[in-house]
Amino acid sequence: MTRSHRLPVVGLVVAFLLAAAAMLVPAVSGWNVHVNSFPPLHAEWLPRLGPGTAPALLLAALASWRAVDLAQRASWRALLAWSFVAALAWMVALAYVDGPHGMGAILDSHYEYMNTARRYPDFAAVLPDWVSRITYARTPHNWTVHVAGHPPGATLFFWLLVRLGFDTGIGAGWVLVVLVATTPAAVLCTLRVLDAEDAARRAAPFLVFGPAAVWSAVSADALFGTCAAWGVAALAVAATRTSWAARAGWSVVAGLLLGALVMLSYGLPVMGVLCLAVLWLARSWWPLPITAVVALGVVGVFALLGFDYLQALKAIHIRYYEGVASRRPPSYWMWANLGALVFSAGPLLGAGLGLLLARARTLVRDPATRVVATLALAGVAMVVLVDLSQMSRAEVERIWLPFEPWLLLSVALLPESWRRRGLVLQLVVALLVQHLLQTGW
């Protein structure tokens, strides 16, 4: 076995062992890690079939048969259109294993944003009081779990949906899934702008198909990832344009999207690592000041309306450890969070990262692999930072969603035989997770 084949094997084995250990350690030892009955996932064992089973199996078969070849041979515009349609169909089919209920039940739960969004006709009026309602001190007037755990931009998105008439969980779910289906196209565009179209074509099937779709169809975190992906794509365009007007215009677009991202999740400013990687690859720091000023301007608008971001960070830290997180042992979750990443991104990620991490210096120096290796390494750095923060113990299968497309770029480094077989593995894992587990987010 050559070294190029041995390294992915090691990575794949490590991924399987990590996921298996995260499952078996609590089960065998009786260790209560304070999550639903299938750690490391927030899920319960519930084997079932449903209306989406047959379409999901058909899509998996078609993807196994044609996706790799189609990604290589299609025109660029056709590839982008295909990535959107296929991602949308895959997410909806998996969600519909539970019927229409699968598209909206989670968004309608007490812990999510929709109930709060319906309750307040004047959103700006609640911003001055936002921080004081994060901790449990004002029970029963404190925000629910997800509203408290995120800046107001996340709730604002659903507030806008309600005002536009998408006031049910199913209605909001359809809007969410259509937007999230554009994420692969955003990542592909970023790669092409950075002169890595061949890598984009190799990565495309894995950005579309995989177990991440189980959570993407029903989680706002996937929407946050979409916002991040298009913000990074706009930044890449800004960094590679030649005219001043184009660079300035795209820098403003990037700043608006990345500023919105800061107001969607407290954990996603770490996307700055990816943004710096893009500018380094483009060999242009020109967009940085404009993008940063515009992004800060977005945050400033919320501040003018009464939301204090820095005070909110302090309050969310208090709220987090007032809840179940204080009982979730870090000695388990520091590494079990990565086991959840294997479930969510799919085990082939281990093969890609095995090759990437073992040959990082060589891959970054090689012009043919520099872009994909650098972006994937930025993804690794972001996951490490989030994990070390200790502000995400458990339920991270959805929290990892914004980072997974960039991590999965490492799969483009694998030999073709690995990618063809690996896509089948990714599809099988997705089908098993959705049909055997009732996921909580």
Compute how many other C-beta atoms are within 10 angstroms of the C-beta atom of residue 30.
Answer: 6
**What residues contact residue 4 under an 8 Å CB cut-off, 6+ apart?**
355, 415
* Mean pLDDT on 369-373: 97
Instruction: Evaluate if residue 56 carries a pLDDT over 70.
Output: yes
pLDDT band at 192 (very low <50, low <70, confident <90, very high): very high
* Full DSSP string of 328-348: S-HHHHHHHHHHHHHHHH-TH
pLDDT digits (tens, 9 = 90+) for 90-137: 999 999 999 998 988 899 988 899 999 999 999 999 999 999 999 987
Q: Residue 213: what pLDDT?
A: 97
How many Å apart are CA 271 and CA 262, to the nearest integer? Answer: 9
How many Å apart are CA 40 and CA 27, to the nearest integer? Answer: 11
Instruction: Evaluate if residue 4 carries a pLDDT over 70.
Output: no
What is the residue type of 419? R
State whether the Cα torsion 295-298-299-304 is positive or negative: positive
Partner residues linked to 45 by β-bridges: 437
Q: Which residue has the tokens 């005002």?
A: 163
Instruction: Evaluate if residue 138 carries a pLDDT over 80.
Output: no
Give the SS3 label for residue 439.
strand
pLDDT band at 180 (very low <50, low <70, confident <90, very high): very high
- Locate all alpha helices (DSSP H) within 265-329, ordered by sequence: 272-282, 287-304, 309-322
Q: Residue 111: what pLDDT?
A: 85
What percentage of the chain carries pLDDT values higher than 90?
A: 87
Instruction: Evaluate if residue 2 carries a pLDDT over 60.
Output: no
- Domain spans of the chain, in order of start: 3-439
- Spatial CA neighbour of 408 closest among 366, 368, 441, 379: 379
* Mean pLDDT on 81-90: 98
How many Å apart are CA 377 and CA 438, to the nearest integer? Answer: 32
Q: Residue 187: what pLDDT?
A: 98
In terms of C-beta density within 10 A (0-12 exposed, 13-18 middle, 19 or more buried), how is residue 310 classed? exposed
* Mean pLDDT on 9-24: 96
